[in-house]
Amino acid sequence: MTRRTLEVSHLNTSFFTERGEVKAVQDVSISVNKGQVVGIVGESGCGKSMIARSIMGLVKKPGKIVSGSIVLQGKELTSLGEKELCKIRGKDVSMVFQEPMTSLNPTMRVGKQVQEVVAIHEDVSREEARRRTLQILSAVGIPEVEARYNAYPHELSGGLRQRVIIAMAMVMKPHLLIADEPTTALDATVETQIMALLKQLAKDGTSVLIISHNLGVIAQLADYVYVMYAGRVVEKGSVFELFDNPLHPYTHGLLGAVSSLRSQTKVLQTIPGVVPNLAHLPAGCSFAPRCSKCMARCGSEQPKLVAVNPEHEVCCHLKEGADSL
């Protein structure tokens, strides 16, 4: 497994609030290979972003990684202190997020912000740092880099700002880039451009972990997909397997809720009910109260991830039953 960039195994991240333990991430295992684009999809509040924060070591109090391991390029991250994590963040693993409008410091020139990342991670001359900054800015498709280098964030459009943020994340050539809803705040044309850029980065060898609630984004970008529900991975598989042959009732529901130009139906399907309160999860399968195929044992017994084929695993009693029969 030398080509493995990231290996998250049995990760549990919880928030210890006054109302009890809120299990944001439960027993999640994810692996990302070199140059692979891995997608995590799920509704709001299902723990997608908490996985990203756990990997970055930025879980805020009262949250905490309870157990599990996160191995990046053979290095265990959960046991590292703040100082060591600072050295890894931005250098070996980087993150791009949702809000390009507010993710840049309004008082700093954008070039300086990218350059700052180089300056803190590597002992290079100012000219060298500047050269690399200009190089990465043009690599992410920013026109007239010399002029843009001196621009303040408010002088750039949303798409350009997101490119600057990606440049910031990529300037140290990290092994892993986490993109948390990278296109949610952008309009459709800019979204297409940013997605093309992320695809290009993966082609050049960066592993990308993309988090989104948008199945379209995931389908276009990802090679492998994890579907999350209430803090757990409920189904995972290669992008073709998962979209062609969804097994978990939740995945079915998600795919049914996508609008398509070709579909004949007039009314979009929805999944009844809401995501359960993570502080008071039902005893068995978390999806049971909303599931149309719920059986007796679903209410009492947590199903396990089982492989239906080498490229596809699902966490549902329906499939466990199919195996044992």
Partner 1 sequence: MDPSGNFDVTSMAEGELGLSSPSVVYEEPASVWHRLARNHKISIVSIVVILLFVLGAIFAPLLTPYEYDAVSLSERLMPPSPTHLFGTDEVGRDVLTRMLYGSRMSLIIGIVPTMLSMAIGTLIGMTAGYFGGKVDTIIMRVADIVMSFPSMLLAMVVMYTLGGGTFNVFLTMAFVGWAGVARVVRSETLKLKESEYVEAARIMGVRRFRIIARHILPNCLPTIIVLFTLDIPAAILTESSLSFLGMGVQPPSASWGLMVNAGRAFLYHAPWLCFAPCLAIMVIVLAFNYLGDGLRDVLDPHLQSQ
Q: Extract the tokens encoding 284.
A: 């068995």
Give the range of 40-48, 187-195, 230-238, 313-321 binding partner 1 by CB under 8 A: 187-195
Q: Is 189 in the site for partner 1 (CB under 8 A)?
A: yes
Min CB(35)–partner 1 separation in Å = 16
The answer to whether 179 and 210 are in contact (CB under 8 A) is yes
Q: Judged by CB, which is closer to partner 1: 160, or 210?
A: 160
Nearest residue to 237 via CA among 139, 159, 315: 315
The answer to whether 50 and 63 are in contact (CB under 8 A) is yes
Q: Extract the tokens encoding 230.
A: 């209430």
Q: Judged by CB, which is closer to partner 1: 136, or 230?
A: 136
Among 28, 31, 32, 97, binds partner 1 (CB under 8 A): 97
Distance CA 226, CA 86 (A): 28
Distance CA 135, CA 122 (A): 16
Amino acid at 217: V
Q: Judged by CB, which is closer to partner 1: 89, or 317?
A: 89
Type and span of the H or E element at 54 = helix 48-56
Binding mask 113-132 for partner 1 (x = CB under 8 A): ---xx--xx-----------
Among 18, 125, 143, 296, binds partner 1 (CB under 8 A): 143
Furthest-apart CA pair in the chain: how many Å? Answer: 68
Q: Is 260 in the site for partner 1 (CB under 8 A)?
A: no
Nearest residue to 173 via CA among 143, 210, 201, 142: 201
Binding mask 52-71 for partner 1 (x = CB under 8 A): ----x-x-------------
DSSP codes, 205-216: T-EEEEEES-HH
Distance of CA 20 to the CA centre of its chain: 27
Q: Is 215 in the site for partner 1 (CB under 8 A)?
A: no
Q: Is 209 in the site for partner 1 (CB under 8 A)?
A: no
Q: Is 86 in the site for partner 1 (CB under 8 A)?
A: yes
Q: Is 50 in the site for partner 1 (CB under 8 A)?
A: no
Q: Is 24 in the site for partner 1 (CB under 8 A)?
A: no
Rounded to 5 degrees, what are φ and ψ at 322? -60, -35
Q: Is 106 in the site for partner 1 (CB under 8 A)?
A: yes
Among 99, 301, 311, 320, binds partner 1 (CB under 8 A): 99
3 state DSSP class of 211: strand
Q: Judged by CB, which is closer to partner 1: 156, or 314?
A: 156
Among 64, 199, 252, 297, binds partner 1 (CB under 8 A): 199
β-bridge mates for residue 299, sequence order: none
Distance CA 190, CA 58 (A): 29
Q: Is 324 in the site for partner 1 (CB under 8 A)?
A: no
Binding site for partner 1 (CB under 8 A): 56, 58, 85-91, 94-95, 97, 99, 102-108, 116-117, 120-121, 141, 143-144, 154-157, 159-160, 165, 168-169, 189, 192-193, 195-197, 199-200
